[in-house]
Amino acid sequence: MTRLNPPSRQSAGEPIDWSAAFSAYGQRATASEIRELLKLLDQPGIISFAGGIPDPGLFPVEILAKAHARIFADPTRAAAALQYSVSEGYPPLREQLAQGWRDQGVELSIDNIMITNGSQQALDLIGRLFLDAGDRLLSARPTYLGALQAFNGQAPSHGDLAELAAGRADAKLAYVMPDFANPTGESIGLNERHALLADADAAGVVVVEDAAYVSLSYDGEAPASLLALESASKGSIEAGRVIHCGTFSKTVVPGLRVGWVIAPEPVIRKLVLLKQAADLHTSTLAQMALSEVIDAIGQAHIVRLRETYSARRDAMLAALERHMPAGVNWTRPKGGMFVWLDLPHGVDGAELLARAIETERVAFVPGAAFFADGAKPNTLRLSFSLNPPAAIDEGVGRLGRLIRSTR
């Protein structure tokens, strides 16, 4: 817990030296490549595989519009939707989520669920609840950039998830995205899930399960979640060590910023206190609207998402086969939004991106951004969620041409 700056008493009467005034966290926080890249999406002519962004053409706009209109038309509900509400989240929405789990045989109640501003806030609050500076955090390498950013607030030391199986047991948290992970698109199989839970038990580690992409499965359903597996083996989620994060961002819309966290009650009670201190509660109106919408859209909406995105996944894998030179390898995701590319050693993803934008008008995220230590510069992430198949083929063609010219 060293501090990066001395107690920063500023000199009397002089303009503030802001950089010296910032906390250790303030000094650590730096702009991410993804963030800068998102600005490129607005440039005409660029085919962007950068953002992990759902296709707005798939947003259930009319259903959302009607839900909002119904709430505003009922004076009692409108007043509730626009008023302060409890930090735990809107009880009927939490009950719907709980019922969904009970329908799958996992017994939990609304007291196991807190609503968050997307799963990003769940990660931030979980980090603050568990991590002190220097505490060890295990995650896949590469892993979700937003998780690294959220946990970075606590200055953890980073370790590879593989340490769990190796019996290294000095970690506090293990962050896992079992289904169609960002950024690789890869999943953890059922046997590995059981092993991971056993290893976490043996090591006494808290497991954070990020299920952001679980509904976007294209080749059959994903295996049971870590939360469900642990609840089944231990008889109750109260006996477990899994904290599960979900979101409406990939299945309904991301712009309303609504997600949730599921955990044993002692964890939820504390998270509620941290949520209250952080922003009191998530938009009441957004929670009430989504409560209506998720009943209205039903499974048909998920089927439509899967059909659209799986066709794009197929298009991207076919285009990679068609256009990539030898020496380039990539993942074959069964869901989600991402394909991960390994380029020949010596090719730098960040340099490639600069040239890609300038000469080929195609964008992606350099893979180094997804490692806490910036390892593996010769990797990159492609998202297939936003472009139709023809644009995917064109964009991958441009990228293949660029890589070929690089060698």
Choose which of 82, 165, 195, 391 interacts with a second copy (CB under 8 A).
Answer: 82
- Shortest distance, CB of residue 164 to a second copy, whole angstroms? 12
| Amino acid at site 143 | T
Least separation, in Å, of the C-beta of 168 and a second copy? Answer: 11
Q: Minimal distance in Å, beta carbon 3 to a second copy?
A: 6
Alpha-carbon gap, residue 265 to 249, rounded angstroms: 25
Q: Which of residues 87-106 bind a second copy (CB under 8 A)?
A: 87
Of 62-70, 97-105, 318-326, 363-371, the window that binds a second copy (rule: CB under 8 A) is: 62-70
> Any contact of residue 44 with a second copy (CB under 8 A)?
no
Name 79's Cβ contacts closer than 8 Å, sequence gap at least 6.
Answer: none
Contacting residue, 37, 47, 50, 64, with a second copy by CB under 8 A? 64
Query: Which residue, 234 or 401, is less far from a second copy as judged by CB?
Result: 234
Question: Which are the contacts of 84, defined by CB distance < 8 A and separation ≥ 6?
Answer: 280, 281, 284
Q: Determine the size of the site formed for a second copy (CB under 8 A).
A: 103
Minimum CB distance to a second copy, residue 62 (Å): 8
* Cα gap 209→204, rounded to integer Å: 16
Distances 137 to 43, 131, 217, 227, 298 between C-alpha atoms, Å: 37, 8, 28, 19, 37
> Nearer Cβ to a second copy, position 2 or 299?
2
Neighbouring CB atoms inside 10 A of 22's CB total 15
Q: Is the peptide bond before 142 cis (omega within 30 degrees of 0)?
A: yes
Say which residue the tokens 């390994």 belong to: 342
Residue 217, number of CB atoms within 10 A of its CB: 21
Task: Report how far residue 322's alpha carbon sits from residue 316's, in angstroms, rounded to the nearest whole number.
Answer: 10
143, two tokens: 């892993």
**C-beta closer to a second copy: residue 279 or 295:** 279
Site string for a second copy, 127-146 (x = CB under 8 A): -xxxxx--x----------x
Any idea which residue has 């950089």 for tokens?
A: 19
Phi, psi torsion values for 289, nearest 5 degrees: -65, -45
Q: Which of residues 151-210 bind a second copy (CB under 8 A)?
A: 152-154, 169-170, 172, 201-206
Q: Does residue 363 touch a second copy according to CB under 8 A? A: no
Buried b (16+ CB within 10 A) or exposed e, 320-359: beebbeeebebbebbbbbbbbbbbeeebebeebbeebbee
* DSSP class per residue in 109-148: -GGGEEEESHHHHHHHHHHHHHPPTT-EEEE-SS--HHHH
Token pair for residue 86? 């409890």
Q: Return the SS3 of 198.
A: helix
Q: Which of the ranges 250-258, 303-311, 314-322, 364-372 carries the binding residues for a second copy, by CB under 8 A?
A: 250-258
19 contacts a second copy (rule: CB under 8 A): yes
Among 40, 46, 195, 278, binds a second copy (CB under 8 A): 278
Among 40, 86, 302, 311, binds a second copy (CB under 8 A): 86
- Give the one residue of 196, 285, 317, 403 binding a second copy; rule: CB under 8 A: 285
Q: Which stretch binds a second copy (CB under 8 A): 214-222, 279-287, 300-308, 345-353?
A: 279-287
24-43: contacts with a second copy (CB under 8 A)? 24-26, 29-32, 35, 38
Q: Counting contacts by CB under 8 A, is residue 15 touching a second copy?
A: yes
- Rule CB under 8 A: is residue 385 a binding residue for a second copy? no
Q: Give the x-and-dash track for 293-332 against a second copy (CB under 8 A).
A: ----------------------------------------
